[in-house]
């Protein structure tokens, strides 16, 4: 989606006519203009689709945090992605993202042991090699497509962590792209629903085969799949189905959003030479650069929850069973929380963004993502002094992920 630079003009926005369920709007329109109007005039907004399905949108930071944190009032067990609207989630109670506490904690705690900063410290050299490979085309002095290469960056880390063979990584990248953005021309096969069905079939079958091969062979290894197969999740070991669902969730979490923070942040720097020069001249600003990049890009664009009971929210009332969409990119531009929110500022203080979510479902891979981004920009500023846009960009067509599918750039070596 477009990222508005400067406070958007909202006077002409007709909230009765907007369609936040349309992936084309998120690729070609300006959701930030609509979200700003919603925050001002309709912080709780209801949209009814032509087929009768309906959902509420929350756009203010406070309301977003409340919906994501309060699992007793807003459940994730009926689906956590807007495209699932009105369809039961078959992974409910089995996959981490579609499970509420206390079961959520029983699944999360043993998984988290493999993804803490301490556990990941030994992965730094591997991540630097992956980052070096990602940046290599920029050393030639020609135009290269950051967005296309970024799609493969997280797989080089996630693939090794999961323990899946490197020859399979290309397929896994494509299938997770299809799952995250089934309507985008880059991934679509036939219709969007058909693309999503194919992606799910391929990914579930792939991880089921991994599970069975390990069970037949030498047993689970020391990788994440082996850990899922052997960990104690409160009531004993996970079933094959639970392992498969959570492998899918971990891979989608890594591959769906990470590339778009990378490409979106490099685009922001290409368009703002003053910010680039600040980061290039003072490497201690890299952690702040990463946090502002996460707020600015907000690649996980929306999350879905369902009201458990009639609940007051955003100055209105949500009925039991109603779907509620939380727009992360809007919450991260709320002027009630962020000073001058439409300004990209790597010196921003008190950056309480919710790009990784909020509450029980705060992103399990946040530590790994931050670690990867820090290393990436350490290496970027070691190798390059500037980046500039070198052609038209293409936005991803998705209601779930905000990002780019094309970003041609020139990178200038030091």
Average pLDDT over residues 334-349: 96
Superfamily of domain 23-413: Cytochrome P450 (1.10.630.10)
Band (pLDDT 50/70/90 cuts) for residue 112 is very high
CA-closest candidate to residue 410, choices 252, 229, 267, 227: 267
Cβ atoms within 10 Å, residue 85: 19
Can you give the pLDDT at residue 95? 96
Beta strands in 59-194 (DSSP E): 74-75, 144-145
Can you give the pLDDT at residue 1? 65
Question: Is residue 245 helix, strand or coil?
Answer: helix
Can you give the pLDDT at residue 121? 87
Q: Is the pLDDT of residue 220 over 80?
A: no
Q: Where are the domains of the chain?
A: 23-413
d(CA 187, CA 10): 33
Which one is predicted more confidently, 3 or 54? Answer: 54
Q: Is the pLDDT of residue 45 over 80?
A: yes
Band (pLDDT 50/70/90 cuts) for residue 65 is very high
What the block records as the tokens of 208 is 């089921």
What's the CA angle centered on 349, arms 338 and 277, to 5 degrees?
110
Beta strands in 239-376 (DSSP E): 302-307, 311-313, 316-318, 323-327
Q: Is the pLDDT of residue 359 over 70?
A: yes
CA-closest candidate to residue 157, choices 262, 46, 3, 236: 262
Can you give the pLDDT at residue 54? 98
CA-closest candidate to residue 251, choices 187, 200, 201, 176: 176
- Residues 156-208: tens digit of each pLDDT: 999 999 999 999 999 999 999 999 999 999 999 999 999 999 999 999 999 99
Chain-wide mean pLDDT for the chain?
Answer: 95
Handedness of CA 16, 20, 26, 28 (dihedral sign): negative
d(CA 345, CA 351): 10
Average pLDDT over residues 53-70: 98
Are the C-beta atoms of residues 224 and 159 closer than 8 Å to each other? no
CA-closest candidate to residue 26, choices 255, 260, 361, 266: 260
């Amino acid at each position: 989606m477009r990222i508005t630079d400067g406070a958007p003009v909202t006077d002409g926005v007709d909230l009765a006519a907007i369609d936040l369920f349309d992936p084309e709007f998120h690729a070609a329109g300006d959701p930030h203009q609509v979200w700003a109007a919603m925050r001002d005039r309709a912080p709780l907004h209801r949209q009814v689709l032509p087929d009768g399905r309906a959902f509420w949108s929350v756009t203010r930071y406070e309301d977003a945090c409340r919906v994501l944190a309060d699992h007793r009032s807003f459940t994730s067990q009926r689906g956590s992605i807007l495209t699932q609207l009105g369809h039961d989630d078959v992974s409910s109670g089995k996959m981490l993202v579609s499970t509420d506490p206390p079961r959520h904690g029983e699944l999360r705690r043993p998984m988290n042991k493999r993804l803490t900063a301490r556990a990941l410290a030994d992965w730094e050299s591997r991540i630097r090699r992956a980052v070096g490979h990602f940046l290599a085309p920029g050393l030639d002095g020609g135009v290269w497509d950051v967005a296309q290469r970024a799609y493969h960056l997280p797989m080089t880390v996630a693939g090794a962590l999961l323990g899946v063979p490197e020859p399979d990584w290309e397929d896994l990248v494509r299938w997770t792209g299809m799952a995250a953005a089934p309507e985008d021309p880059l991934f679509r096969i036939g219709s969007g629903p058909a693309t999503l069905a194919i992606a799910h079939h391929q990914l579930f079958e792939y991880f089921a085969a991994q599970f069975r091969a390990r069970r037949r062979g030498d047993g689970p290894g020391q990788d994440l799949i082996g850990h899922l197969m052997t960990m104690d999740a409160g009531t004993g070991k996970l079933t094959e189905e639970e392992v498969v669902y959570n492998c899918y969730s971990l891979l989608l979490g890594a591959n769906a959003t990470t590339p778009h923070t990378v490409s979106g942040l490099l685009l922001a720097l290409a368009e703002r030479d003053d910010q680039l020069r600040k980061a290039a001249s003072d490497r201690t600003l890299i952690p702040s650069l990463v946090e502002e990049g996460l707020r600015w890009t907000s690649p996980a664009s929306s999350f879905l929850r369902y009201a458990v009971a009639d609940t007051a929210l955003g100055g209105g009332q949500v009925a039991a069973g109603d779907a509620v969409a939380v727009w992360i990119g809007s919450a991260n531009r709320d002027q009630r929380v962020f000073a001058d929110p439409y300004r990209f500022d790597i010196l921003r203080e008190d950056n309480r963004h919710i790009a990784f979510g909020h509450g029980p479902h705060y992103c399990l891979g946040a530590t790994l993502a931050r670690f990867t981004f820090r290393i990436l920009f350490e290496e970027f500023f070691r190798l390059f002094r500037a980046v500039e846009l070198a052609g038209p960009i293409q936005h991803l067509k998705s209601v779930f992920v905000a990002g780019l599918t094309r970003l041609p750039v020139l990178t200038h070596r030091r």
